[in-house]
Amino acid sequence: MAHPSLPDDLAIHGDGGGTIIMLVMDGLGGLPHPDTHRTELESASTPHLDALAARSSLGMLAPVGHGITPGSGPGHLALFGYDPVESMIGRGVLSALGVGFDLQPGDVAARLNMATVDDDGVVTDRRAGRPSDEDGRRVIEAVRDNLDTPEGVALTLIHEKEHRAVLVLRGEGLGARISDTDPQRTNSRPVPATAIEADPASERTAGIVQGILDQVQDILADEPKANSFLARGFAEFTPYPSFEARFGLRAVAVAKYPMYRGVATLAGMTVDGVPDSNEGSVEMLERHFGAYDFYFIHFKDTDSRAHDGDFQGKVEAIEEVDALLPRITALGPDVLIVTGDHSTPALLGEHSWHHVPTLLASQWARPSAAEFGEACCRGGDLGVLPGKDLMSLALAHAGRLDKYGA
Minimum CB distance to a second copy, residue 32 (Å): 7
Cβ within 8 Å of residue 293, ≥6 positions away:
17, 19, 20, 248, 249, 250, 251
Residue 126: C-alpha distances to residues 129, 130, 189, 227, 230 (Å): 8, 9, 11, 11, 8
* Ramachandran angles phi, psi of 290, nearest 5°: 110, -25
Which CB sits closer to a second copy, 247 or 292? 247
Minimum CB distance to a second copy, residue 62 (Å): 8
Minimum CB distance to a second copy, residue 109 (Å): 12
Which CB sits closer to a second copy, 305 or 397? 397
Which CB sits closer to a second copy, 66 or 185? 66
Which CB sits closer to a second copy, 7 or 173? 7
Minimum CB distance to a second copy, residue 243 (Å): 16
d(CA 52, CA 335): 11
Q: Is 280 helix (H, G, I), strand (E, B) or coil?
A: helix
Minimum CB distance to a second copy, residue 4 (Å): 10
Amino acid at position 386, single letter:
P
Which CB sits closer to a second copy, 107 or 374? 374
Q: Please, which residues bridge with residue 386 across strands?
A: 62
Q: Is 269 helix (H, G, I), strand (E, B) or coil?
A: coil
Minimum CB distance to a second copy, residue 183 (Å): 15
Is 52 in contact with 361 (CB distance < 8 Å)?
Answer: yes
Which CB sits closer to a second copy, 174 or 390? 390
Query: Which DSSP string do the residues of 193-258 spell out, in sequence order?
Result: P-BSSS-HHHHHHHHHHHHHHHHHHHHTTT-SS--EEEEEEEEE--PPPPHHHHH---EEEEESSH
d(CA 213, CA 84): 31
Which CB sits closer to a second copy, 184 or 312? 184
Residue 16: C-alpha distances to residues 9, 366, 367, 379 (Å): 20, 23, 25, 33
* H or E element at residue 384: strand 384-386
Minimum CB distance to a second copy, residue 222 (Å): 31
Q: 44, 88, 16, 108: which is closest to 313 by C-alpha?
A: 44
Which CB sits closer to a second copy, 11 or 154? 11
Minimum CB distance to a second copy, residue 146 (Å): 29
* H or E element at residue 319: helix 311-329
d(CA 197, CA 181): 15
Which CB sits closer to a second copy, 54 or 274? 54
Which CB sits closer to a second copy, 191 or 348? 348
Minimum CB distance to a second copy, residue 262 (Å): 10
Contact positions toward a second copy, by CB under 8 A?
Answer: 5-7, 9-10, 31-32, 37, 39, 60, 64-74, 84-85, 88-91, 94, 111, 232-233, 345, 347-348, 350-355, 364, 366-368, 374-375, 378-386, 389-397, 401-406
Q: Angle 354-359-364 (CA atoms, 0-180°, nearest 5)?
A: 145
DSSP code of residue 189? P
Is 342 in contact with 69 (CB distance < 8 Å)?
Answer: yes
Minimum CB distance to a second copy, residue 98 (Å): 11
